[in-house]
Amino acid sequence: MAPSWWGRSGGGGGVGNGGGTPVVVKMENPNWSISEVEAAEVAPGSPAGAGKAGRGKNARQITWVLLLKAHRAAGRLTGAATALRARSYGCIRVFLVLSLLLLAVEVAAYLQGWHLEEVASLLAVDGLFAASYAGWMRLRLDYLAPPLQFLTNACVALFMVQSIDRLVLCLGCFWIRFKGIKPVPQAAAAGKPDVEAGAGDYPMVLVQMPMCNEREVYQQSIGAVCNLDWPKSNFLVQVLDDSDDATTSALIKEEVEKWQREGVRIIYRHRVIRDGYKAGNLKSAMNCSYVKDYEFVVIFDADFQPQADFLKRTVPHFKGKDDVGLVQARWSFVNKDENLLTRLQNVNLCFHFEVEQQVNGAFLNFFGFNGTAGVWRIKALEDSGGWMERTTVEDMDIAVRAHLKGWKFVFLNDVECQCELPESYEAYRKQQHRWHSGPMQLFRLCFVDIIKSKIGFWKKFNLIFLFFLLRKLILPFYSFTLFCVILPMTMFVPEAELPAWVVCYIPATMSILNILPAPKSFPFIVPYLLFENTMSVTKFNAMISGLFQLGSAYEWVVTKKSGRSSEGDLVGLVEKHSKQQRVGSAPNLDALTKEESNPKKDSKKKKHNRIYRKELALSFLLLTAAARSLLSAQGIHFYFLLFQGVSFLVVGLDLIGEQVE
């Protein structure tokens, strides 16, 4: 490792020595037949030791039999989940048809005035329809309402637990604001100026830029990274190109060569075989022989443009803190006001950074690495086993393993790195599927490691219950089950009640808390609440895929970029932060402006709306339930179902965000 500016050998005081890379064995067909063989009896006169060895061998055989049986049971459960997921659209359609039939029956009964009658009174009425309706009421009362009410109460309990967790996070954020808590570098805390000495006083930093077929954004991103305010001899840029489009690769390589001619230490690497996607790309780059000369590695995705003083505001937080393994900056978005979809995404991500990441970083020294705009101590990466391709959330994977090794994380809420938000629903849907299936894959793989780790009990509790189960599994489960399944069912089985405060007041309160970090988005609070419930279908589907390792859990689709980071965006952000930051020369914006002045042929491609069948089916189901709620005079339930049904309809017809080409 290169010597750092604080006069000590590079490398942190990581807790524990790095172990070997774990090997994951996937059994393709768990349904083997298992034969249990009884042990042979010990022959007379045999030594006692032989009998003990036989008993030990029998114990091992029984253990293996039990493990194989457990694996077979897990395989059957996975098969059932696969079948359920494959038939989910069919189940929704059947549910929709039944709801329409029941609505017709309920309307007819309402016109007869039977909705106010008891079952015994209806039995006295002559006619087949009256008898059938009385039977339906008895079926509801005796068999459908009790289990539905139990499921309702269970989901309400989960909803309240998650709401309390959200409230505690918000209180933690308010406390941080009130007390002015923020990470401070050691030099700044001692009243000394920041690092302004010669190149020998700066640590060696490796900058990695993984990208794949991202033609729209590579130029400004490479330009921003090459203009980082850091001694040129002390940082190296790796452009890690996984593009399979020859034209895009040629353009990226040409851009790298241009900056090489200007004296920037920048290297172009291209993989022909994209094994492991982003994790494989980063792992391959870290295997280069010259990496041993660097102490820190910074990662920027293809659409991220850091400010010139990014390294000077992040790297000093490692000084004098040998147990700090990661310093993470927050994201800002150049296209947050582009359309309704980007505005709603901005609300979610502002809460994620301002509240979740900041609170967990301040009080727990742990949070999920965001995959980009972060600085890693290379020793922490190596100590944690390096990058692994076993899930689609390699960033969360390395963060969890580093946390189990005892490394601490620092989150800087005041250091921003601009990037883009997906502008089409199709791109956002693919991104969210990966973000919600990957954590469940990771939870399956690291659960035993968490239990066996040497970290404290409360840290294990935070990882297992809060970080994984509550925020990654329970949240999408109850959001979909409670508002998209149970609520419409209670309209047709009114004996099972869902209180109005669950439908309206608590969700509205949580939405207000979520939107506080982005106060300019308050006019969109109602669309935000409805859209979050609409996205619960995608998130629930992704969670099931990751939990049971279904095929779609391993899908990796690069999020489509639009290249909104134009000259105006960059200059505007520089002017906004000019009082706080020292900005170097801007990237090659002339070339970018010239490129934008010539419309591409791709822009002439016809755009169209996609049709999302699950969302449409759920829309009609919720609207049918809204019509049924009118017969029960449930006002709040009616309005919620009506607006939620319209929200599903808008999304199902792809009327939110930009259309795809």
| Residue 242 annotated in active site | yes
Torsion sign over Cα 82, 83, 87, 91: negative
| Residue 395 annotated in active site | yes
Which residue of the set 301, 395, 397, 654 is catalytic?
A: 395
Helix (H) or strand (E) holding 641: helix 635-652
Amino acid letter, residue 107: V
Give the 3-state secondary structure of residue 415.
strand
Q: What's the rounded Cα separation, in Å, for the pair 546 and 476?
A: 13
The Cβ of residue 566 has, within 10 Å, a number of other Cβ atoms equal to: 16
Tell me whether strands 324-333 and 408-419 are parallel, antiparallel or unpaired.
Answer: parallel
Q: What's the rounded Cα separation, in Å, for the pair 504 and 533?
A: 13
Q: What's the rounded Cα separation, in Å, for the pair 324 and 42?
A: 59
CB 186 within 8 Å of CB 320: yes
Q: What's the rounded Cα separation, in Å, for the pair 108 and 121?
A: 17
Q: What's the rounded Cα separation, in Å, for the pair 84 and 88?
A: 6
Q: Comparing C-alpha atoms, which of 563, 597, 602 is closest to residue 219?
A: 563
CA distances from 573 to 173, 417, 566, 570, 578 (A): 25, 10, 11, 5, 8
Which residue of the set 242, 303, 397, 654 is catalytic?
A: 242
Q: 435: Cβ–Cβ under 8 A, 6 or more apart, which residues? A: 393, 542
Q: What's the rounded Cα separation, in Å, for the pair 520 and 516?
A: 9
Q: What's the rounded Cα separation, in Å, for the pair 546 and 541?
A: 9
Q: 654: Cβ–Cβ under 8 A, 6 or more apart, which residues? A: 425, 426, 609, 610, 611, 612, 660
CB 265 within 8 Å of CB 235: yes
Active-site residue list: 242, 395
